[in-house]
Structure 1
Amino acid sequence: MGGRDEDVLAEVGPRLRALRRARGATLDALAAETGLTASTLSRLENGKLRPTLEQLLPLARAHGVPLDDLVAAPPTGDPRIHLRPVRRFGLTVVPLTRRPGGVQAYKVVYPPAGRAATMRLQTHDGYEWFYVLDGRVRLVLGEREFLLGAGEAADFDTRVPHWIGSADDRPAELLTLFGAQGERAHLPRMH
C-alpha cells in the first residue's frame, strides 16, 4: 500500500471514535451492536489495528453512515445526498449531516402513539433542538409535558429526563439538531 492509502487508513480511527462519541455509545455497547470486541474497537480507534472491510461494514451500519464516510472516499462529482434511513428503537432516523462531531442533524419519524415503545425517560449529555415537520408530538421533560404541532419547535438540555413520541394515531416527523457536547443551535433573530 502506498502513502496515500496509509494516510486514508490512519484517519479512520479518529473518525470512528468521533462517530461513537457523537452517538454517546460506549465501546461495549458498540461491540454488542457490531459483533466486534470492545478491544478490537479500541485498537481500531487508536490506530493500532488496520481496519478491514469486514470490520468497517458493521461499523458503518451501526453509525448510520455510508462506508465512504469512514474512509473519506473522494467525492464522485455527484452533488446529491443519498440519505439512508436507519431504524432504531422503533424510530426511523435519517442522518442529514455527513461529518462526525459537532452538532448533528436528523430527520426522525416517530411511530403512531399506539405502536410506540413504552415511555421511558432518558438522560444523556447533550443539547437537542427539534422542529415538528408533520403530526403532533408529545414531549415529556422532567415533570412537565408539552404537546407540539407542525411548525412548532422546542430545545432542551438532554441531561433533564426526557421522552419524545407521537401524540396521536399518526406518525410524527421531526427535524432534529443534537449536540453531544452540549452545543446549542443558534438561530439568528429575523427583524
Structure 2
Amino acid sequence: MPDTSHHLSASLGADLRALRKLRNVTLTALAEASGKSVGWLSQVERDISHPSIEELKTLAQALDVSVSLFFGQAPAIAGEEGYVVRKGARRQIGTTNDGLVEELLSPDLTDDFEMFHSTFESGAQMDHFESRPTQEVGYLISGRLRLWVGAHQFDLQPGDSFRIRGEPYRWANPWDQDAVAVWAIAPPVY
C-alpha cells in the first residue's frame, strides 16, 4: 500500500476526535460504523496509527463529512504548528458542488468555532435554503454576494458583514466576479 501520510493533515488525530465529539459519537459507535476496533481508532486519534485512503473514506462517511477534510494542508513551518496557517497551507473543506470553495483558516478543527476563507465563484448559487443550529458571521472582502436569510434578501458589497442565527439561508453570485468572504461558524459544523 502506498504511503499517503505525507498528504494527510498534520492534525488528523485531533481533527478526527473533534469531529467525533462534535457529533456526539462514541469511539465504540464509530468503530461499529467503520468496521474498525476501538483500539485502532484510539491510536488514530492519538496519531499513533495512520489510516489508509479507504479507511479515511469509511471514517468520513460515518461522520458525514467529505474525505477532503482530512487532506490538503501543507506542513506548518517549525514552531508555527497550531498557531499560524500560511496562505498556501490552507486546507480545503467541503465540496465545490455549489461553486463554493471553503478553506479552513484555523490550524485544525479543535476550536469552539470554525473560520473560513470562502470563495463564491461567479455565477454560482446555493439552490436550496439550508438551516443549521449555529451562529454565523461573515465579512465580504471582494466581489458581490446575494444572501437570503429567511424572507430577507441582501446584496452585499466589499466591506459589508452579516449574521445568521439558525435561520434558513442561501446565497448566489450572479455577477461576473468571484466573491470572497471570511466566514465564522459556531459551533463547528465540519
Q: TM-score range by the shorter chain?
A: 0.5 to 0.7
Percent of aligned pairs with the same residue? Answer: 19
**1:57-136 equivalent positions in 2, closer than 5 A:** 61-63=67-69, 76-77=78-79, 81=86, 82-86=89-93, 87-89=95-97, 90-99=99-108, 100-113=110-123, 116-117=124-125, 119-136=127-144
Among 165, 177, 186, the residue aligned to 1:179: 186
What displacement does 1:170 show? 1.7
Name the counterpart of 1:4.
none
Q: Which sections of structure 2, spanning at least 5 residues, go unmatched?
A: 1-10, 61-65
- Choose the corresponding residue for 2:155, options 137, 147, 150: 147
Offset at residue 123 of structure 1 (A) = 0.8
Q: Which residue identity lines up with residue 184 of structure 2 in the other structure?
A: L
* TM norm structure 1: 0.62
- 2:140 touches 2:182 (CA, 8 Å); kept in 1? yes
SS at match of 1:17: helix
**Alpha-carbon distance between aligned partners in 2 of 1:171 and 1:52, rounded to the nearest angstrom:** 37
Alignment match, 1:168 = 175
- Please say if 1:18 is aligned against 2:18: yes
Q: SS of 1:108's equivalent? A: strand
Q: Which runs of 4+ in 1 moved over 6 A?
A: none
Structure 1 residue 68: Cα displacement: 8.7
- CA separation in 1, counterparts of 2:43 and 2:103? 32
Larger helix fraction of residues: 1
Pairing partner for 1:53 from 36, 46, 51: 51
CA shift, 1:64, in A, is 5.1
CA contact (8 A) 1:92 1:110 kept: yes
Letter of the structure 2 residue corresponding to residue 104 of structure 1: E
Change (3 A) 1:179 1:65: farther
CA root-mean-square deviation: 4.1
CA distance in 2, matches of 1:75, 1:129: 30
- Matching residue of 1:7: none
Amino acid at match of 1:47: S
Letter in 2 for 1:123: S
Q: 1:124 to 1:44 in 2, by over 3 A?
A: farther
Post-superposition shift, 1:65?
A: 5.4
Q: CA deviation at 1:139?
A: 0.7
Does the CA-based 8 Å contact 1:64-1:95 persist in structure 2? no
Deviation at 1:150?
Answer: 0.3
TM-score w.r.t. length of structure 2 = 0.62
Q: Distance in 2 between matches of 1:91 and 1:101?
A: 23
- Deviation of 1:85 after TM superposition, in Å, equals 3.6
Deviation string, structure 1 residues 20-42 (Cα, Å, up to 9, x no partner): 566x7x99xxx9xxxx9833479
Q: How many residues align?
A: 157
Q: Contact conserved, 1:111 with 1:165, CA < 8 A, in 2?
A: no
Cα shift at 1:13: 5.6
